[in-house]
Amino acid sequence: MGVTHFLILSKTESAPYLRVARTPQGPTLTFSIHEYALASDVAQSQLRPRCPQDFFKNPPLIVLSGFGGGEQHLKLTTIMFQNIFPSIDVNTVKLSSCQRIVLLNYNKETKLIDFRHYSIRLQPVGVSRRIRKPSSPRSQELAGSVVW
């Protein structure tokens, strides 16, 4: 079936955990979860929640921050998270197909990883409101940028 990774959530009496396992030979990484927010709670807090029907059709852009360092466990974590999603060819990707960003930020002082999943959209910048209307896809192509 082409499954390469499993993300497994579990909860014990002490804490909830995220286990990232590569199949079939491993490795497996286990993370203790300190804080989390449910997708339904995030959607309820937003004025206009955004979840297009083809939202999960394309892989997200992966942004890894703070993982530079010689420590072996950080290198392994970086490689694991880079390989969970298919790679994106920046030369051939259509900007309109990029609808998500996964941000992993490692804080060296607290030794915690922030894992965030953002929805992004193309929006013309520096163009009058009339031209920004979706009636002109070509103008969006010419003046598009990513907005978080």
What is the structure's pLDDT at 118? 85
Same domain, 22 and 59: no
Divide the 148 residues of the chain into consecutive groups of 10 and give the mean pLDDT of each group.
90 94 92 90 84 78 85 89 86 80 91 88 72 50 40
Residues forming a β-bridge with 104: 64, 115
Q: Which domain holds residue 18?
A: 1-36
Instruction: Assess whether 19 and 52 both reside in one domain.
Output: no
Residue 120 contacts residue 144 (beta carbons within 8 Å): no
Residue 97 token pair = 């197909």
Is 44 found in the same domain as 31?
Answer: no
pLDDT for the residue 49: 79
Verify that 8 and 18 share a domain, yes or no: yes
Q: What is the pLDDT of residue 113?
A: 93
- How far, in Å, CA of 111 to CA of 20, rounded? 18
pLDDT at 140 (0 to 100): 39
Peptide bond before 24: cis, by omega within 30 degrees of 0? yes
- What tokens appear for 52 in the block? 């297009």
Q: Which stretches of 3-139 are assigned E, i.e. beta strand?
A: 5-11, 16-22, 28-32, 61-65, 100-107, 112-119, 121-124
Nearest-angstrom CA–CA distance, 74 and 34:
19
Co-location of 53 and 28 in the same domain: no
Domain shared by 6 and 62, yes or no: no
Q: Are strands 100-107 and 61-65 parallel, antiparallel or unpaired?
A: parallel
pLDDT of residue 69: 74
pTM summary value: 0.72
Q: Are residues 87 and 48 in the same domain?
A: yes
